[in-house]
Structure 1
Amino acid sequence: MTEVGERALAPSTIDISIVVPCYDRLNLLERTLQACLAQQVDAGISWEIVVADNHPARLAAPIVAAFNSQIPLHHVAAGDRNIAEARNLGVKAANGAFIAFVDDDEAPEPDWLMAHYRCLARTGADASFGAIYPIFEGGSPPAWDTQGRYYSTDFGLPDGTKIEPLKWFPPRPRGVSTANVMLKRSSCFPGEKPFDEAFGRTGGEDTLLLLRLAQAGRRFVWCADAHVIEFNEIGRLSFRYMCRRVQRSSRHSAEVRMAISSNKMATRISIYFIALSQLSVYGALWILRRKPAYVLQICKALGKLGFARLEFIPE
């Protein structure tokens, strides 16, 4: 393990850096690092792993130190419970021409890293996004979502399909995050702090950066073969938790849209129009059919209207 201080390493001296922001999920972090170190990488491709430790006690340091790895594995002291700061310091410490992010509760499949790398090389895009599939503590999805649909992210698009997160219509998958992504360093990380640290304690910092990049003309694509597996602990399995998560996420989305808008009045009106339409349609459907999916759509509408607390919850 290499301990990285505040001074940045020289950028782009290797091909790929995996950045793993973390706080206190130590058992899950160990699983994530094992999966990262098990990547099947083509000969001639140089790569490293950077663990951006966002806990004031630097809880990840002994976990990282315990790995006897031939792959460069760095521990970075990365602020104090501000996920944007952790991401910024992780990127600053990384050497790669390409930066892949994975969360500390996710385990990438063995071909994940090369799938992203090949997709970007083939398409010339600036960023590629992949699917997230769940596994559950206890072995089974919750009774209210027996297929794990609300714990999964899969756009179901052909490999290399362009993603346009700024377009509301036509309706198609467009919600982007850094939970499973690879980005070109030279075009995707403007300035010293690309992630807005004002969003660091509430979340939404990754979506804000990605939408700003889309505004600047950066090209995003879907990578159909880059999969990660997310572990969901018992506390995430209740319907109440998912309602809270969906409502909070919807408020994040609305606030990020406002942050990037050049016409805030028009943007606010459009957000409210969509929210009130959702309330009307799904409120009526809930009265008629009482399905959990309709409640979650109502929660999305309430989030757009600002009815959601933005304190930290495990996502």
Structure 2
Amino acid sequence: MPVPDTTPLVIAVLTFRRPDDLAAILPALVTQARSSTIPASVVVVDNDPAASARAFVTAQDPTMVRYVHEPEPGIAAARSRAMTEAGASRLLVFIDDDERPTEGWLNHLLATQRRTGAAAVVGPVISEYAHPPDPWISAGNFFTRRRMPTGTAVTVAATNNLLLDLEQVRHFGLAFDRRYGLLGGEDTLFTRRLSQQGGKIVWCNEAVVVDRVPANRLTRSWVLHRAFSSGNSWSRVSLELASTTVTRVLGRIRLVLAGLMRIAGGSARVVPGVVGRSLTWQARGARTVARGAGMVSGAIGYVYREYRRT
């Protein structure tokens, strides 16, 4: 078994059968680690049961890059393995293998954490298209994510651009829930629990990573399925965080009503959008309907498996 890392900071990139993306991101991460204001290294967690990334990763500079194999399917298992492999390191940074860090990305995260003492620091993701998207996709503006001033407190975060203070995470006794491994929402549950228990999560607007959106995601079907999945996982996580039977029942009712309101509101956009030939109204309305349907389904117990494997 590989020896856990001993550098103060570990950059973890999770991968699953994306050799081209891995070949592109690893040199960038090594550059970030070498220019870090504190000693840093990179760990690649290969979640492919066949360990397909082993040969490529182990051929990299062993003083900067380590390879670990996590055969248990699911992103929660891979993220848990990254936390284990960080060993006694104080800081752990997650980035996805299909993203690219911009100049100064890592040091911006570090500076914000030092200044705020936050348990987690999250940065923005900017999307670039692999090819021109369908006009419906462009009209919906679906791949434009939120931006906020640095230091803004948030209560939930994705893990595709996230720094964790592991000392605080360990203090709260937090871990990624492996039940969510093939479902999605493990990052929502983790960060909402962190915030709920008193851990501060702050935004760093300068720590940008670029996500290159592949052709298979630039479709109406993918956008609507993703919206449904997002709504479904939000409801499931909200019910998971309910502390008593009563709050869970009340939460289930609120989630159903909120989902139904989104379905109604989205439908109210789609119809006039079709009549007035507004792609923006049609696209945004359809996604709102899909998210609302996901919320209702999650509230009544349906589990959508976003990362199911065949």
Q: What TM-score bracket applies, with the shorter chain setting the length?
A: 0.7 to 0.9
Contact 1:134 1:148 in 2 (8 A): no
In the TM superposition, residue 191 of structure 1 has moved relative to its aligned partner by: 8.4
Contact 2:30 2:64 in 1 (8 A): no
In the TM superposition, residue 222 of structure 1 has moved relative to its aligned partner by: 0.6
Partner of 1:64: 57
Gaps of 5+ in 2: 275-281
Percentage of pairs with the same residue? 26
Distance 1:281 1:82 in 2: 34
2:236 to 230, 237, 255: 255
Cα displacement string for residues 71-99 of structure 1 (whole angstroms, at most 9, x for unaligned residues)? 52110111232211111111111143111
Contact 1:115 1:226 in 2 (8 A): yes
2:74 to 78, 82, 87: 82
Contact 2:172 2:197 in 1 (8 A): no
Distance 2:242 2:227 in 1: 23
Distance 1:250 1:260 in 2: 16
2:201 to 200, 206, 220: 220
Partner of 2:277: none
Contact 2:232 2:303 in 1 (8 A): yes
Name the amino acid aligned to 2:263. L
Contact 1:41 1:113 in 2 (8 A): no
In the TM superposition, residue 194 of structure 1 has moved relative to its aligned partner by: 0.7
SS in 2 for 1:110: coil
SS in 2 for 1:144: helix
TM-score w.r.t. the length of structure 2 is 0.88
In the TM superposition, residue 230 of structure 1 has moved relative to its aligned partner by: 0.9
1:159 to 146, 150, 154: 150
Distance 2:33 2:80 in 1: 27
In the TM superposition, residue 253 of structure 1 has moved relative to its aligned partner by: 1.1
Change (3 A) 1:43 1:64: closer
Contact 2:125 2:209 in 1 (8 A): yes
Change (3 A) 1:147 1:302: closer
1:77-156 equivalence runs, <5 A: 77-95=69-87, 96-138=89-131, 140-146=132-138, 149-154=141-146, 156=147
Contact 1:130 1:227 in 2 (8 A): yes
Contact 1:28 1:105 in 2 (8 A): yes
Distance 1:273 1:264 in 2: 14
Answer with 247-256 or 192-201: which moved more.
192-201
Gaps of 5+ in 1: 166-175
Change (3 A) 1:192 1:267: closer
Name the amino acid aligned to 1:310. R
